[in-house]
Amino acid sequence: MSLQVQSAVSLKPFNTFGVDVQARLFAEAHSDDDVREALAYSAAHQLPLLVIGGGSNLLLTADIQALVLRMASRGVRVLSDNGQRVIVEAEAGETWHPFVLWSLEQGLSGLENLSLIPGTVGAAPMQNIGAYGVEIKDVFHSLTALDRQTGELREFNLDDCAFAYRDSVFKHQAGRWLILRVRFVLTRAAHLHLEYGPVRQRLTEQGIEQPTAKDVSAAICAIRSEKLPDPAVLGNAGSFFKNPLVSAELGAELKREHPGLVAYPQADGQVKLAAGWLIEQAGWKGFREADAGVHRLQALVLVNYGTASGLQLLGLAQRIQQDIAQRYGVHLEMEPNLY
């Protein structure tokens, strides 16, 4: 067996919150064969299998009584190129931001707005990650996943994935599909998205009137670096809460009561509220209790100042949820997966 299984491994290096819990068993998958061996091993030992990527969407609240399999497969390749439309495939274990930078170095556009998002390629479709007006679904071609129930491979196209805001079929069928590689449709002619957030303003301030995809990526990296803490310096999982979707009626009522409310009308008639604005207005920005806190510059980000446990961070998150529900009648949904 090529899979190297270790016992009693700390998961602190493998989750961006830096929470120190222990995995009963731990292994890394560098190939499809490693994945199959891990499935067979967990079945033979009657242990659950928990698959992780970059650990940027996890909140670990206790030791993990399972075989934790970290996806570490690497490889990026061009599958087709007609001069304008290029299909690129990346293995699940590829780190997301370096993959984005690689695409830009090849003269390809499409991923620039998703720069500096933590995590891996394989985890990106799970959440339909998005930023600054672009989501995975906008550049997605297809993916290959292994059915953990049957051991068979299945190809998923765009419709199969049922992408929605921070959502996909892979979240609804959690534990069934193990994503092995993902394909993206990128272009040589840039179709830039500059209207969401302060992107255009940042480019204007830099005197860039005709930006390239690389310019947009650099601007977004700068904006994100100013707003969001580096997990290597301060433990966090990025945006901890989803921006809530509410009815047009509730959105209008809240706007009357709170004229400064940040809200975005949606095509389906709902209104998306800025969770960070709600949390900041409620006074949580910069809050700290022991080593669990809310970031001083971005209220949407919970942080671990050093030795906070997952339970302490979860308790803080639940208190924020309760407060926002009482103040605004709005439920905040957590983005990280809880274990």
6: alpha, beta or left? (left if phi > 0; alpha if psi -120 to 50): beta
Confidence (pLDDT) at 114: 98
* Catalytic one of 166, 188, 200, 288: 166
Annotation marks residue 112 as catalytic:
no
E-state strands within 214-305: 235-239, 245-246, 263-265, 271-273, 288-289, 292-294, 301-304
Pairing of strands 271-273, 263-265: antiparallel
Residues 99, 290: Cα–Cα separation, whole Å: 37
What per-residue string of b and e applies to 55-79 under the rule 16 or more CB within 10 Å gives b? bbbbbbbeebebbbbbbbbeebeee
Q: What does the domain layout of the chain look like in residue ranges?
A: 6-71, 76-226, 229-338
pTM, two decimals, is 0.90
Confidence (pLDDT) at 146: 97
pLDDT single digits (tens) 237-274:
999 999 999 999 999 999 999 999 999 899 899 999 99
Annotation marks residue 239 as catalytic:
yes
For the domain with range 6-71, which CATH number is right: 1.10.357.10, 3.30.420.300, 3.30.70.100, 3.30.43.10?
A: 3.30.43.10
**CB-based contact 17:313 (threshold 8 Å):** yes
- The secondary structure element, H or E, covering residue 127 is helix 124-127
* Catalytic one of 73, 168, 239, 309: 239
Residues 207, 228: Cα–Cα separation, whole Å: 24
Residues 288, 295: Cα–Cα separation, whole Å: 9
Domains 76-226 and 229-338 share a fold: no
CATH 3.90.78.10 fits 229-338, yes or no: yes
Annotation marks residue 135 as catalytic:
no
Domain 76-226: top CATH class: alpha beta
Confidence (pLDDT) at 261: 94
Residues 36, 267: Cα–Cα separation, whole Å: 42
pLDDT single digits (tens) 130-174:
999 999 999 999 999 999 999 999 999 999 999 998 899 999 998
Grouped pLDDT means (10 residues each) for the chain, 339 residues: 92 97 98 96 95 94 98 98 96 98 98 96 95 95 96 96 94 93 96 88 92 96 91 94 95 94 92 96 97 96 97 98 97 95
